[in-house]
Amino acid sequence: MNSRGATGVSWGLIGGLAIIEGVAIWLMWLGQSSLGMVIYGLLGVAIVIVGWRSLRTIHQQRPLSRRQPGLKQLYTLMITNLVMLAVIAVHDCDHMRQAMGWGYHFTLALLLVNIIVYLPNLISLVLVSRGQTKGVVATLISGPLIAVAFLKLHLLGAWLPVWGPWNRSFFALGVDAISWWILVITAVAGIIVGLVATYILGQLSKQ
């Protein structure tokens, strides 16, 4: 994929993320959470700004040595991180759907904790856009980290009771097939993100 095609895909993913966060705002409105609407509105704006600035920055990158990721590798990592963010956002929306079914209203603390899960891939996105090798390493860590953390929380329950109803496992909560499939997709996406970053890191080490 050339730079123009990669840029188009990246913009498509950023637009998709904006739409998903719009759905999240709508779900918060249905759940009568004005606080949630504000927080996810701000999150959506932040994701679009970070994505836009990252795309602008990546165009300016020219590797200074063969041990730094090239433009094609940088775009691959950018797209990978954007896909992971989209998967996390869908997972988040599913929690909102579950909460409405249970009659649960999100607290400020839980809303803020939910935002934290976006940070690893947002940070990776920024580092990748700057052409830094540490962006590859950050992506390698962030994908599997999200996969393992989500699996731990939803299969075994929480170590720290900060997740509201989701302190209990999906088994205890009796969630439906949609939630199980979204969890599987989230975990698989996280592992694939890690594998892509590992492959690129291997290419750089050979050079």
Taking the domains of the chain in order of start, what are their residue ranges? 3-206
For the chain, give the mean pLDDT. Answer: 91
Pick from 119-133, 136-150, 174-188: least confident = 119-133
Q: What's residue 58's pLDDT?
A: 83
Q: What's residue 44's pLDDT?
A: 95
pLDDT in tens, 132-151: 888 999 999 999 999 999 99
- Residues 155-174 have a mean pLDDT of 93
* pLDDT reading at 67 higher than 80: no
Q: What's residue 80's pLDDT?
A: 96
pLDDT band at 1 (very low <50, low <70, confident <90, very high): low
* pLDDT reading at 101 higher than 80: yes
pLDDT band at 61 (very low <50, low <70, confident <90, very high): low
Q: What's residue 139's pLDDT?
A: 96
pTM score of the predicted model: 0.93
Q: What's residue 40's pLDDT?
A: 96
Percent of the chain with pLDDT over 90: 75
- Residues 26-49 have a mean pLDDT of 95
Give the distance, in angstroms, between the CA of residue 187 and the centroid of all CA atoms in the same chain.
Answer: 11
Q: What's residue 132's pLDDT?
A: 80
Q: What's residue 204's pLDDT?
A: 84
pLDDT in tens, 72-98: 889 999 999 999 999 999 999 999 999
SS (H, E, C) the chain: CCHHHHHHHHHHHHHHHHHHHHHHHHHHHHCCCHHHHHHHHHHHHHHHHHHHHHHHHHCCCCCCCCCCCCHHHHHHHHHHHHHHHHHHHHHHHHHHHHHHHHCCCCCHHHHHHHHHCCHHHHHHHHHHHCCCHHHHHHHHHHHHHHHHHHHHHHHHCCCCCCCHHHHCCHHHHCCCHHHHHHHHHHHHHHHHHHHHHHHHHHHHHHC
pLDDT band at 66 (very low <50, low <70, confident <90, very high): low
17, 47 in Cβ contact below 8 A? yes
Q: What's residue 172's pLDDT?
A: 96
